[in-house]
């Protein structure tokens, strides 16, 4: 266990509007119980949970930041970008999330076809059903695969079928950084490179991503996301200074059970060494 501690600020969480397990109401109540004072709901490619989250946050007196985790792509590599602090009515956020929602459906079809080629039954309809009102994602396919007895658990589903390497040519479906960042940057919202540790990139490539991210108008990097090792958090703190990024933090909470970090929990950061994004709020 790395040195996680409960924190006041959590700027990366998911609800049932995407692939999280808790409804926005349950999430906000849990975060409040855990003494989180400032929370961002950042569902994948949707802001559908924000209105409900805002109602509950207001009623319990917790600060809620509007957020969204957008799927983007850099030189054919899929990355995640967390947008924070936009207005609920922001038309540009609405347009990019809508675009990505369409991509999610088309990509779901492609994923189902790919799985069929590997000898599995057509899982598209079941995955759609599993997703229900939520944004369709690979976790929904994984869930169906476990339920149908095709794999032992979600991890195996990702390892053998759904991981980025396994998806081959259908990876490059998301908006390019150079298109989406400048467009959203003009609205004045904060644009955060999410969980830099989780990409299959060498340090050299990661720095190249950061250079572009900054040049296009990105404002921040996530220096702590979930239970990264402290030395990696120190490394990201240094990179945030080197590239003059603000520093963001979050649990990437998806639910109380499973491999996910709990809401409000992530590796301790050295606030005084960075420029904390959340100080403005």
Stretch that binds ligand AMP, among 150-158, 208-216, 227-235, 271-279 (CB under 6 A): 150-158
Indicate the SS3 state at residue 102: helix
Q: Output the six-digit token pair for 261.
A: 């970090």
Q: What minimum distance in Å lies between the beta carbon of 165 and ligand AMP?
A: 12
Choose among ligand AMP, Mn ion, none what residue 138 binds, the Cβ cut-off being 5 to 8 Å by kind: ligand AMP
Task: List strands edge to edge, sheet with 77-84.
Answer: 9-10, 38-41, 63-74, 77-84, 190-193, 220-225, 246-250
* Contact flags string 39-78 toward Mn ion, x per CB under 5 A: ------------------------------x---------
Does residue number 44 form part of the binding site for ligand AMP (CB under 6 A)? yes
User: Between residues 58 and 192, which has the closer beta carbon with respect to Mn ion?
Assistant: 192
User: Between residues 32 and 225, which has the closer beta carbon with respect to ligand AMP?
Assistant: 225
Indicate the SS3 state at residue 88: coil
CA distance 131 to 95: 21
Does residue number 154 form part of the binding site for ligand AMP (CB under 6 A)? yes
Q: Which residue is nearest to Mn ion (CB)?
A: 80
Does residue number 62 form part of the binding site for ligand AMP (CB under 6 A)? no
Binding residues among 237-256 for Mn ion as defined by CB under 5 A = 252
* Contact flags string 100-139 toward ligand AMP, x per CB under 6 A: -------------------------------------xxx
Residue selected from 19, 52, 222, 237 as contacting ligand AMP according to rule CB under 6 A: 19
Closest among 207, 213, 224 to 277, alpha carbons compared: 224
Closest among 185, 161, 201, 191 to 76, alpha carbons compared: 201
User: Between residues 121 and 259, which has the closer beta carbon with respect to Mn ion?
Assistant: 259
Q: What minimum distance in Å lies between the beta carbon of 12 and Mn ion?
A: 6
Q: Please say whether the beta carbons of 199 and 221 come within 8 A.
A: no
Q: Judging by beta carbons within 10 Å of its beta carbon (0-12, 13-18, 19+), is residue 10 exposed, middle or buried?
A: buried
Closest among 249, 270, 257 to 12, alpha carbons compared: 249
Q: Output the six-digit token pair for 175.
A: 């908006």
Does residue number 104 form part of the binding site for Mn ion (CB under 5 A)? no
Q: Count residues near ligand AMP (CB under 6 A).
A: 10
Q: Output the six-digit token pair for 232.
A: 């990696």
Q: Please say whether the beta carbons of 234 and 207 come within 8 A.
A: no
Indicate the SS3 state at residue 9: strand
Give contact residues for ligand AMP (rule: CB under 6 A).
Answer: 19, 44, 137-139, 142, 154-155, 158, 254
């Amino acid at each position: 266990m790395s040195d996680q501690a409960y924190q006041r600020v959590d700027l990366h969480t998911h609800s049932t509007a995407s692939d999280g397990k808790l409804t926005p109401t349950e999430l906000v109540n849990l975060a409040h119980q855990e003494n989180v004072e400032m929370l961002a709901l950042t569902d994948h490619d949707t802001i559908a949970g924000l209105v409900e989250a805002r109602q509950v946050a207001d009623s319990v007196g917790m600060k809620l930041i509007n957020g969204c985790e957008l799927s983007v792509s850099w030189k054919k590599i899929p990355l995640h970008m967390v947008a924070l602090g936009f207005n609920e009515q922001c038309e540009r956020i609405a347009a990019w999330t809508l675009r990505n929602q369409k991509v999610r459906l088309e990509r779901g079809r492609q994923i189902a076809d790919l799985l069929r080629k590997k000898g599995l039954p057509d899982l598209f309809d079941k995955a759609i059903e599993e997703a229900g009102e939520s944004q369709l994602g690979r976790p929904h396919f994984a869930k169906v695969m476990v339920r149908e007895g095709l794999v032992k658990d979600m991890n195996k589903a990702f390892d053998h079928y759904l991981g980025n390497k396994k998806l081959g040519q259908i990876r490059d479906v998301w908006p390019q950084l150079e298109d989406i960042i400048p467009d959203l940057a003009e609205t004045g919202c904060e644009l955060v490179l999410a969980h830099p540790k989780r990409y299959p990139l060498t340090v050299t490539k990661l720095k190249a991503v950061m250079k572009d991210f900054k040049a296009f108008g990105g404002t921040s990097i996530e220096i702590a996301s979930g239970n990264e090792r402290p030395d990696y958090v120190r490394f990201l703190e240094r990179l945030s200074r080197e590239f003059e990024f603000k520093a963001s933090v979050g649990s990437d909470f998806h639910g109380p059970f499973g491999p996910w970090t709990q809401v409000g929990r992530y590796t301790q950061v050295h606030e005084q060494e960075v420029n904390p994004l959340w100080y403005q709020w």
